Amino acid sequence: MPESGQKTTQGHITERAPEPTGQATTRRTGLLVTLVLGGLTALPPLSMDMYLPALPEVTGALNAPAATVQLTLTACLAGMALGQLVVGPMSDKWGRRRPLLIGMIVYVLATAVCALAPTAETLIGFRLLQGLAGAAGIVIARAVVRDLYDGVEMARFFSTLMLISGVAPIIAPLIGGQILRITDWRGVFHVLTVIGILLTLVVWRFLGETLPPERRHEGGVGQALRTMKGLLADRVFAGYMLTGGLAFAALFAYISASPFVVQEIYGASPQTFSLLFGLNSIGLVAVGQVNGKLLVGRVSLDKALGWGLGIILVSSLALLLMTSGVFGKVGLVPIAAGLFVLMSAMGLAMPNTNAQALMRTPHAAGSASALLGTTSFLIGAVASPLVGIAGEHTAVPMAVVQLTCAVLAVACFLGLCRPWQQGRSGAAPTNP
């Protein structure tokens, strides 16, 4: 656990005196800083979900097949994955603020070019750059939380961030659907550009440095690689990393496939799709708050995580049975109900995997955050094109991908984390 704490002054985070040895470190952020961190974690769902209702339109506007257009999602996701591997170690060496501002500026420029893309290939290329730059917000926001919190307080704060950032997937498709009523898909990227500019200005003005110089790593690329190698050698950390990544892939299989499943297969309008997507996001946020407000501190993080994984497994199996015709022809309502349960269970899985993994890595929060994010986004990027492998007229591939990811997530949790051996109840374990 770091020796120096933090406090806030007029929205800025400044250093304070070290706390007594052995005393639990409790740090607090101001409301404004909390909102800034929530905005940074909301940027990925804004970048992807606001664009989802426009996917069918993009296929026609750019004269590209659905599988190619889905690569615009994959490219953004892959960029966010790879970018975190660079930005995370950079933030451990140079602090959190400078890499974050550089990444936000590049994000704004790349998003503006996406709005002008003349071909699907151009759009894919700049979505990749958009993802590479947007990775700064993801990885550094998580590292800042690790700088400021520990133990169950960190798990609670991740749930609070889920409440803030969870508003993004609720409103993003709704905004995207309304944008499509007055303009075309390019208008979505114009709005994202404005959001990026505003968030960059807020970060520059209100988010101070949370990693003091004495806690930074002076090594270069070699040191960063050795740090990551040490993290990966920790079986339990690797277990939580893979568990969270596979759960995220099940979520992203839904994100990637749902525009075509809901609109093309079941004939819903972009506005109806946006409404259903928003309801699912409300479920995720609500369960995340139950996790943070009611379960954390009363139930072990591993037990809450296990419940979440179990629900994801059962709901994905039910979706496969329904989409494959085992129960006969089913309509939109049963499919939407299954997706709602699956999405809601992410509110138990996602904050607890992050908290358990980061509690083991106070010495390298940036690198650990980078590995967590990179794994999630890379596995999600692999899952994304698989959901469309059988074309636009069946939802079976989506359910197969979700069930496969759920089974593998449970296997990693039980086989690598081994919660019954660790005896963890939310307290930070010793460093590896």
Q: What is the mean pLDDT of residues 413-420?
A: 88
Residue 302 three-state SS: helix
- Out of 241-245, 246-250, 368-372, least confident range: 368-372
Tell me which amino acid residue 411 is.
A
- Element at 13 (helix H, strand E): strand 12-15
Q: What is the mean pLDDT of residues 161-175?
A: 70
Q: What is the pLDDT of residues 169-192, one digit of tens each?
A: 667 777 888 888 888 889 999 999
Is a pLDDT exceeding 60 seen at residue 16? no
Is a pLDDT exceeding 90 seen at residue 221? no
**pLDDT for res 432:** 39
Q: What is the pLDDT of residues 111-143, one digit of tens each?
A: 999 999 888 899 999 999 998 998 888 888 888
pTM: 0.69
Q: What is the mean pLDDT of residues 232-239?
A: 90
Of residues 204 and 151, more confidence is placed in 204
User: Is the Cβ–Cβ distance between 393 and 207 less than 8 Å?
Assistant: no
**pLDDT for res 170:** 65
Binning pLDDT at 50, 70 and 90, where does residue 315 land? very high
**pLDDT for res 311:** 95
Q: What is the mean pLDDT of the chain?
A: 80
Residues near 150 by Cβ (< 8 Å), separated by ≥ 6?
Answer: 1, 24, 25, 359, 362, 428
Q: What percent of the chain has pLDDT over 90?
A: 22
CA distance 63 to 54: 14
Q: What is the mean pLDDT of residues 40-65?
A: 81
**pLDDT for res 81:** 77
Long-range contacts from 109-117, C-beta under 8 angstroms, 24+ separation: 111/47, 111/189, 111/192, 111/193, 111/196, 112/189, 112/193, 114/189, 114/192, 115/186, 115/187, 115/189, 115/190, 115/193, 116/186, 117/62
Binning pLDDT at 50, 70 and 90, where does residue 56 land? confident
Binning pLDDT at 50, 70 and 90, where does residue 6 land? very low
**pLDDT for res 106:** 94
Binning pLDDT at 50, 70 and 90, where does residue 166 land? low
